[in-house]
Structure formats: C-alpha cells, structure tokens
Amino acid sequence: MLLPTPRRIVPATGRFTLDHRTAVHAVGPAAPAAELLRTLLRPATGLPLPPSPDGAVLLAVDPATAAELGPEGYRLTVTPEAVRLHAAAVAGLLHGIQRLRQLLPAEALLDGPALGVRWELPCLTVTDRPGFPWRGLMLDVARHYLPVSYLHRTVDLLALHGLNVLHLHLTDDQGWRMPVYAHPRLTAVGSVRARTMTGRAGSGRFDDRPHGGTYTKADLRGLVRYAAERGVTVVPEIEMPGHARAALAAYPRLGNVPGRRLDVWTEWGVCENVLGVHDEVLAFCADVLDEVMEIFPSPYIHLGGDECPTAEWESAPAARRRAAELGLASPKELHGWFLGRVGEHLLSHGRRPVCWAEDGSSPGLPPEFTVMPWRDADHGLQAARRGHDIVMAPYRATYLDYPASDHPDEPLGQEGAVVDLRAVHGLDPAPAHWPDEVRARVLGAQAQLWTEFVPGPEEADRRLHPRLAALADRVWNPDTDWPAFERALAGHRPRLAALGLPTGR
C-alpha cells in the first residue's frame, strides 16, 4: 500500500524488474528528477540506471496534463516492459519517484547494499495529485539545536511522505540559530543558554549544562538547495516581537527597559520580555529579514507573532509614546502595528509574511498575512473570513510534542491532550460546512514538533513517526478514511523500519 493514499490506483497483472540493464530516458526538464531517482535507489540496489533514449523507464514533463494533474500531480504506469512517469511539472515527477520507491521492496530504502533482493515493481497505473498546496512540518531548532545532517534527513522523510514544506523555527527565547552578519552577537551570545529546564514550564528542575548551537549560512543554503532538489520548500521563522529573549540577551538596547541586561532564557513557557517598538528595533528586524531573504528563496517568511505579553509596553514610556503618536487605544494595539510594519518590509521584497494566530481576532493584522491558527480550528474560519490565507495547525491534531498515547512509558510531553494517530488523521483542514469562499483560503496544514522535551534526533524521530505519516495522508488525500489509512500504514511500517524509524504500536 502506498502512503499517502493515492487518489486512483488501477492494478494490472505482471511485474517490471529493475536490473543492471535498466536505463532511464528523461525528457527535457525531467533530467534532475532522473538524477534524484538514481541518488535514491543506488545505495540499496547498486543499480546505475544510466541515461539512454531507449530506456525502459521514461520520465517526462507534459504541460498538457496540467488540468488533470495540477502542478504536483503525476501519472505512474508500470507494465512488464516499461515504467512511464508523466507530470505537468517537475514537482509532480519528484512525487512520482517517491511512490515508485514505495512500490519496490522495503529494502530499497536502506542506506546500504541489500543483497539478494529482486527489485520488482507491480504493474499498475497510479493517477494522483495532492489535495492542498501546503503540506508541512514545523521543526523547532531553537529550544534544542538539531544538527544540519538531521535536517537533511528530515527533508528526505518529508519528500517520501509527499510533504513539501519544512518550516524551520530558528529563533526563540531559549536560542538563536541563524547567523546575521549585521548583528553577530545574535549567535555569539544568543545561541547558548546556561542550562535547560528538564520538566514542564514552572517545574524549577534544570540540568545545569549549557546548551547551544548555530548553523552557518553555508549550512542553511545547502539545506535549501538539498530540499529544492526533493520538492521541499524551507520556510524560515524569526520570532518577533515576543519569544525574543535570546535577541534581547545579545542586544539589550532592543528591549523596553534602558540599561537592563538579560540572559538567554532557561525556562519554558511564555517570557514576559519582548522587543521594544522604537525605530532601532524596526531597523534591526529589517536587517535580520534582509539576511534571511538572501538565504531562503521561499515566497513565505514566518514572523512568529504569537504569545506576546504587552505588560512591558504598557509600562515603558517609549512604547506608551509610540502608541499615543499612532492614535492607538492602548499599547496592546502595538502588537498588530508592529507585525504590520515588519510585514510591509517583506511585502516590499515580494515575500508573504506568515504568523501564528492564538485566537480568531488578529487585531490590526493586514490581510496580506497568511496565518496559522493553532489553538482552535474555528479560529481559521474567522481569519479566512477577514481575508487571510490560512495554514491549519490546531494543536489537538498537529502538535507532536504532545504525548502519542496514555501509555506509562510515553515520554514527557505537553499537558492537556493526547495526540494519537487517530487524532492526527482526524484533522480536517477545510471542513465541508465552511463556506466555499473560506475553504478556498485554506492552503493546507502542517505538523509541529516543539522541542522543549526533544534533546536530540533520536527523540525527535520518536515523536514524529509514525504520526507524521497520518498527517501526510490527510493533507495529500482529504478523502481517505481511518480504515484506509490503517491498511496503508500496515504496508508502510516495513519502510519505516528499513529507515530505522519508530513504527508505532
């Protein structure tokens, strides 16, 4: 069984065997997809799959199929004599290649030679296209740094599952991971905290070991390139105006209390310290985002924007003056103004700002913002009615830092919900009872892995899999039901095992 579940499969009789005589014919712009096919299959199969105009495996971009397949759909036909993969654009070929991998024995996903395996494909025709253009994963590398090698591996797993967005949460109160040449202390100071809380927010338990890490610009450019080759867009997130304690530790003058010095935050939860609203802060944000845009070509740039306490603005004379000058009813309204000003900078460079939505009000937020409702799905309905495009991220179905079960050996997670496989697969990004004009604004959905309780790659994998497969199935094919997913997952578990990933209970 393929996963995510394709829209249409027509089985046929017979099998096609890939061997050392099998060649690939890539027509025109399909050449990069053919090279990816070789890269993916060579480690386990050892097959060279050389290029040849007479190759039995054909990869072709056919714009005439755009109406049927869309920009990411594909048609894969396997007969005993040939394999034919057609798509309207290269992105569709990349998805088709991942499904072709899944049709091979699970050993094809091993990272080393698998001896004695016949590399056979069942004969069939798959006609498929995704239900939403945004199908993603948010990975928090600020709370706990994750090595760039793990980010590459995550991209591989997103592509395998038909997901096309890696949302990289690069900054928060507890760490700043991206170098900014105009402001070097962001990583020199802001990337390291003195200790890490080992319990939930407010527990008062710490490990008393420094934690830090930062990526180079070369690391991030390499990640963007690697992801693009696999059909994945990397969307960066720089948190503001809240969740900015690491930046304030590096540059105290960006805060609301002159002369105050702060450290990189060592606790979890919502920090009361936020960026100021004076002109120097706006210039700082523009500097940072200019360097972000140099590295990340994504049309979307995430600004965070949620969980921003306003107590400092309400007491700071400079913030109160700013609110009065702008004619705002109170300093609380500086939140929408701040995001609007920074969003304008992105829009002037042809990028779309994105922010989290804690509730359905988003006061003062310009309609050009794409919003991610995370507390309640109905907040997405309200945001779409105000003209925002939305990416659904309700925590009860998408937050994978919550426990996957109530089993006694479940690792520490957030309190208040169990987000099991069925909860994830139950996500409905665009409910049928929503008006058509609202449903049209739903770009898709994504999973979230916040890393307060995720110290490294092994624990990240434990939280992600196989729940990520449930989300992937739902956002690719919203018509699939729970029994169909259970059958698909049963067939997918050997692949997860071959990759060294948890397969679930």
- Residues recognised as catalytic: 172, 243, 307
How far from 464 is each of 337, 404, 461, CA to CA, in Å?
Answer: 36, 10, 5
DSSP string for 233-302:
EEEEEEEESSS-HHHHHH-GGGSSSTT---PPP-S-S--S-----SHHHHHHHHHHHHHHHHH---SEEE
**Angle (deg, nearest 10), helices 467-476 and 457-464:** 50
Place of tokens 């049928």: 432
- The H helix count followed by the E strand count for the chain is 18, 18
Residue spans of alpha helices (H) in 161-216 = 185-188
How far from 368 is each of 307, 390, 503, CA to CA, in Å?
Answer: 21, 11, 40
**Single-letter amino acid code for the residue at 25:** H
Closest CA relative to residue 398, chosen from 449, 443, 437: 449
CA gap 187, 247 in Å, rounded: 9
Q: Using an 8 Å Cβ cutoff, are 139 and 42 in contact? A: no
